[in-house]
Structure 1
Amino acid sequence: MPRSAALPVSLGEDFALYHAASGSTGYVFCGAWGYDELCSRKFLRRLAEDLADAGFPVLRADYPGTVNMRDPVPDTGLEGWIGTAVDAADRLKELSGCSRILYLGLGIGSAIAFLAAQRRKDVDGVVLAGPVASGRRYMREVQLHANVTNEGLGLALQGIHGDTGFSGFAMSEKLQADLKTINLDKLDLSTRPRCLVLTREGNENDNAFAGSLAEKGLKVQCETFEGYFALMAAPTTSVVPPKAIADIVSWSKTNFASASDADRPGVAASPQTVIVKGDGFVEQPVTFGPNGQFFGVLCRPETGDSTGATAVFLNTGYGHHIGWGRIWVRAARELARKGITSLRFDMANIGDSPQTDGLPDQVIYTKEAFNDVSVALDFLEREAPGPVFLVGRCSGAYVAFNEAVLDARVKGVMLINQLRLIWDPGEDVEAALRSGARPLDEYRRRAMRLETVKRVLTGKVDLIRAGGHIFSHVSDRLSRKLAPYLGPLTKLGRFRRACFSNFDAMARRGIPVHVVNCENDGSLDELARYFGADFSGLKAYPNVVQTIVPNADHNLTPEDAQQHLLSLLDQALLNARWNDGQAVRSQAAE
């Protein structure tokens, strides 16, 4: 049997995720924010599982207005984040019966964890992973990282502003100002917990902060945070660092009481029904599937009356169920206000859903993902019966495209920036995810720009990597031109036959297929591969509608692009066809 997902439990008017264990010392996790949170969700889940196996109960809580939490009032700032971490410790003690608390913070979460620990008398230790001692320096680094990310996505920096200014993630001016006031080096300490500091390679600020803690009389152990940069490089390809997990578990077992030396039964963990009420929506964090393996959030209209189809939002790479810039959270809630129910969930070994036993760690572009979606549809048949509409971006679009053919319960799909429609088993997944977001024409345009020439001359462009991307595109175009003449003799010819077979099957069933591509996105090359440079081959399918989103990157980072997508979802999911079908099913059920 697969491992169970963490139990959703209430935390104030929101929820947290609980990993049960019987030790007398428990952990409260304070995660990173924004892009870093999207990269590290799976890492913290895996770490929590290993700590729970070692006897430490764990509660993972998110800050107001982040991840799945309700959007906060405008003046919510740093105090709201610290208060959540403090309240989470009380909730953990209620759930587990533990008497002592440890905090773990990652990135900006390390500052939140340390500040929360100063407000309690029951904290024995704090893990500071990739620590943030200066909030002002942190905000500079966040903005710099966002600028680099946006440049890599092909976005004009001057066109990205407002509440999507940090790689699509929102942060209020109040919170930005509050975070800049953090200065742990000058903090007057009320408690001196034992500390484990995981320092990033080459980061002197991390080492200096660890030294300042030791000078203040804290017992400090330092370890190198090996694998930090691979973890935070990109949500689609994030790699969990095993040594960091091992170091934290070892430090915890060495210094604090766990189940092995705690003579108490603990508090049994049992599933709870947690309901979060928001502005026009009601959300329920859920686990489902074999042994409760899968985690998701069911979002319904606050009236309880649903219309249209039920949307299912799928993962992109290893990015978890909230989507880039929380776009799936935003979409789910806006749809709920218009009467649409949705489920956003993590497939196996992504985000908050554990791995399936016996399967490889790499799960992107694998057939196992189709099984995961099928399990989600089984769940929806019980909880929200009706037509199902799959929504996926990039690798999620690949899953939606193929699952719609395999499962007759799927009545519609939206494929957003699909880099692959048919997967080549001989292709390297990470290379495909990293190289495919720009089409060949975009490389040509960028090569002609003066600033690109300057960056090449100054060594700021990886010519080998860029050349590899261009060679891949050129090879693909040559193969595309030969395919009509060689047919099934070529690999592309076989892929074309499989692709057309899928489109034919959906056309016979009358499934609406919405193909959404951002301007200058690599997914346009994939469409041209099968339907011609002008995509005229799509006209053979009256059930297919293609839309080009202007001035947007592969992730739909700009606010205008996100609004465009939300409008397309409205049109697709509020179509009268769904209500007609729903009425027929209701009568049949009676």
Structure 2
Amino acid sequence: MRPVVFDGQFGWFHPANGPHGVVLCSPFGYDALCTYRGLRRLAERLAERGMPVLRFDYPGTGDSAGDASEPGRWRAWIDSIKEAVAWLRESTGVARVSLCGLRLGGTLAALAAQELGGVDGLVLLAPVLSGKNYQRELRAHYRQWLSIPASMDCVHEPDTDAFVEAYGFRLYQDTLESLRAVDLRRDAQQPAARVLVLDSLDAGRVDALVAHYREQGLEVERQPFDEYSKFMLESLDSELPRAAFASIENWLTDRDGDTMASARANVGGAADHAAVHSATHVATHATDHIAGHPVAPNVVETPVWLDGGRLFGIYCAPAARCEAHASATAPAALLLNTGAVSRIGNARLSVRFARRLAQQGVSSLRVDLRGLGDSLPSVDGLNLDALYAPEGVDDAACAARWLNAQGHRGAVLLGICAGAYIGLHAAAREPAVTGAVLVNLQKFTWRNLCDEQGKPAVAPATFGSTRSYLRSMCQPRKWLRVLKGQSGGLPVARELTARFAARVAATLADRLERLSGIELGAREAHRLIAAVDAKGAETRLVYGVLDEGVEELECHFGAHGARLRRFHHVRAAFCERTDHAILSSSAQENVMSYFENFYRDSFSEIARTDTEPAHDARATRSSWRQSRAAQWLVKRARAVRLFGEAS
């Protein structure tokens, strides 16, 4: 596969020699993050069966230019599919083109196919049939997210007509008005010669859609999509819908000479599959020097391959007229994957932040570590052990060295959750890493927890942070639930007692070690931080005040990470209104502003942002003490704003 850019849209072309091409139309927002790996695998499988495939990002989404808040997005999304079809036809000379769309991508594909005419096949995977229902679905997803522990202490977005948000992605008023008018049961007249519908969500509406197309004389086939619920899970847990993909492959190749091409493509089994990956690897070398393209005012992005074509990333830099704003030799930002999410980031954070930095004169690289996004190998599934594997640290170090080779004075890492773990270990050993901002780090060290099937052999913790429990103890309604038997108070009490005991034991061990000089128990976290400090990499461990990662920090380094004060280059910092995965708009702004100010103070002369003033460290500690007192003395008291460093 190779990256392509057309009319500002970024995409991937999967080459093949057959006469029938396919354009994949991705879903919107969080659905696209969940299914990114799966749709890549579908494109690869179709290419293996002789069909050239193009998958791409709509304007204002993914790696494409623009922002979702811009007016005219709905029209632009439909037009971008038409442009993708034109690009595929012109680039490959295919005689026929089919569209395959998932969720909102299916709806857009049907509408674009109607306007295009001459589309051979249309595959609709759980399409959005009613725009009004889809908006209600997004609002329900947002309310569901607010109910989970990971969203604690975030700012609730207002229920407004200006936008609808789900998991950090927004559809704005202009797009919503266009979407509300959509109903596939009456729209998209004769979109293609034949249609395949896979859906198990709304039988009545799907029946009406199938009848609608059959009345128009179209060849329509309907199949179940029983794997939908497992496919649409969070990106780490998303499972390939193998039966659905097989149905799509067979349906698309059941035409003329495609059957022969399919047979030829499948000869050799595993050996052929290896050859495909070899061809993919070779293709990457042919595109090492793909030209940069503008994506925002004064911002140019260039797709790049690292480590001999194994790792993929996008280098984002100021345009030529912006180069005088910052030295070309300044450190660049290296944006790591958050969990199993591709380089785009939750809520498209990595893309938006990279372009924001470039407008301030700071270059960046957002990279996919191995097995993630569009890097090699292409995998069917992932687990926690893979996310925390040492190979990921090797890849982060490789990306930092690449930035160094481009003339930058090293790399300043930004990692969230699992990305924070990878970033911390890379900062401890890689000379090219000059600094790091590590957000909501959950573990300092990792022991493989998954069994042979990739499932956690140890049940994940079901308890939130201690501070969240202490805060809830100030709420009478929580005690009322305990008294009514609606909530288990005893298990919580046991957990809090165990945590308190573990913290006391760690504190005593630390003090005895300092007195005697003898290491007591496992001290891997201390050795890791000491390695980062000795290397001189300025590092900040940033936590939401109620994040579960604070437990790990305080277990090893005392309340508020106070024992980090003995190090010169490592500090802990805390900020309120910051959810775990950085999905809320307030959390995104907190992280971006913190990184900008940290970079300015440590590495650059870029101007301080106006969004967040610096806090004196002593004032921060004083505010923390006041907030803890307030939690016990005032019911429902919220922690005061903490966005400085505990030093």
Q: What TM-score, normalized to structure 1?
A: 0.85
Instruction: Quote the residue 1:174 is aligned against.
Output: 174
Contact 1:232-1:238 within 8 A present in 2 as well? yes
Task: Compute the displacement of 1:482 (Å).
Answer: 3.6
**Bigger CA radius of gyration:** 2
Task: Compute the displacement of 1:356 (Å).
Answer: 6.8
Distance across 2 between alignment mates of 1:497 and 1:282: 45
Distance across 2 between alignment mates of 1:434 and 1:334: 36
Distance across 2 between alignment mates of 1:345 and 1:433: 31
Residue 38 of structure 2 aligns with an amino acid whose one-letter code is F
Task: Compute the displacement of 1:393 (Å).
Answer: 0.4
Contact 1:276-1:284 within 8 A present in 2 as well? yes
Instruction: Quote the residue 1:106 is aligned against.
Output: 102
**Structure 1 segments unaligned to the other structure (5+ residues):** 1-5, 488-492, 580-590
Task: Compute the displacement of 1:407 (Å).
Answer: 1.4
| Counterpart among 426, 446, 470 of residue 403 in structure 1 | 426
- 1:229-248 maps to which residues of 2 (within 5 A)? 229-248=229-248
Instruction: Quote the residue 1:498 is aligned against.
Output: 524
Distance across 2 between alignment mates of 1:38 and 1:473: 35
Contact 1:297-1:345 within 8 A present in 2 as well? yes
Contact 1:273-1:284 within 8 A present in 2 as well? yes
Residues 354-387 of structure 1, C-alpha deviation per residue, up to 9 Å, x if partnerless? 3279997762111121122233234324435321
**Could you tell which deviates more after superposition, 443-452 or 296-305?**
443-452
**Structure 2 segments unaligned to the other structure (5+ residues):** 265-281, 511-518, 606-647
Which of 1 and 2 has higher RCO (CA within 8 Å, sep 6+)?
Answer: 1
Contact 1:309-1:389 within 8 A present in 2 as well? yes
Q: How many residues align?
A: 563
RMSD: 3.5
Paired-residue identity, %: 28
| Counterpart among 260, 281, 286 of residue 304 in structure 2 | 286
Distance across 2 between alignment mates of 1:136 and 1:358: 34
SS in 1 for 2:303: strand
**Could you tell which deviates more after superposition, 92-101 or 519-528?**
92-101
**Could you tell which deviates more after superposition, 129-138 or 81-90?**
129-138
Q: Are residues 1:193 and 2:211 paired?
A: no
- 1:370-449 maps to which residues of 2 (within 5 A)? 370-426=393-449, 435=461, 438-443=464-469, 445-446=471-472, 449=475
Residue 586 of structure 2 aligns with an amino acid whose one-letter code is D
- 1:203-222 maps to which residues of 2 (within 5 A)? 204-222=204-222
Distance 1:449 1:22, change over 3 A: farther
Residue 319 of structure 2 aligns with an amino acid whose one-letter code is E
- 1:323-362 maps to which residues of 2 (within 5 A)? 323-355=345-377
Residue 303 of structure 2 aligns with an amino acid whose one-letter code is P
Task: Compute the displacement of 1:223 (Å).
Answer: 2.7
Instruction: Quote the residue 2:48 is aligned against.
Output: 53
Q: Are residues 1:571 and 2:597 paired?
A: yes
Distance 1:472 1:514, change over 3 A: same
SS in 2 for 1:334: helix
Contact 1:284-1:298 within 8 A present in 2 as well? yes
Residue 28 of structure 2 aligns with an amino acid whose one-letter code is W
Contact 2:420-2:439 within 8 A present in 1 as well? yes
**Could you tell which deviates more after superposition, 427-436 or 505-514?**
427-436
Distance 1:451 1:569, change over 3 A: same
Contact 1:30-1:110 within 8 A present in 2 as well? yes
SS in 2 for 1:355: coil
Task: Compute the displacement of 1:50 (Å).
Answer: 0.9
Distance across 1 between alignment mates of 2:101 and 2:473: 42
Task: Compute the displacement of 1:26 (Å).
Answer: 0.8
| Counterpart among 486, 503, 507 of residue 533 in structure 2 | 507
Distance across 2 between alignment mates of 1:326 and 1:433: 30
Instruction: Quote the residue 1:36 is aligned against.
Output: 31
Residues 82-109 of structure 1, C-alpha deviation per residue, up to 9 Å, x if partnerless? 0000000010112222121110111111
Residue 548 of structure 1 aligns with an amino acid whose one-letter code is F
| Counterpart among 316, 338, 344 of residue 299 in structure 1 | 316
Residue 509 of structure 1 aligns with an amino acid whose one-letter code is K
Distance 1:44 1:530, change over 3 A: same
Residues 32-78 of structure 1, C-alpha deviation per residue, up to 9 Å, x if partnerless? 11111111111111111111111111111211111112225832232
Contact 2:129-2:184 within 8 A present in 1 as well? yes
Residues 264-285 of structure 1, C-alpha deviation per residue, up to 9 Å, x if partnerless? 9xxx975261422121211112
Residues 492-530 of structure 1, C-alpha deviation per residue, up to 9 Å, x if partnerless? x99851111111111112211111111211111111121
Distance across 1 between alignment mates of 2:83 and 2:64: 15
Task: Compute the displacement of 1:450 (Å).
Answer: 6.5
Contact 2:506-2:555 within 8 A present in 1 as well? no
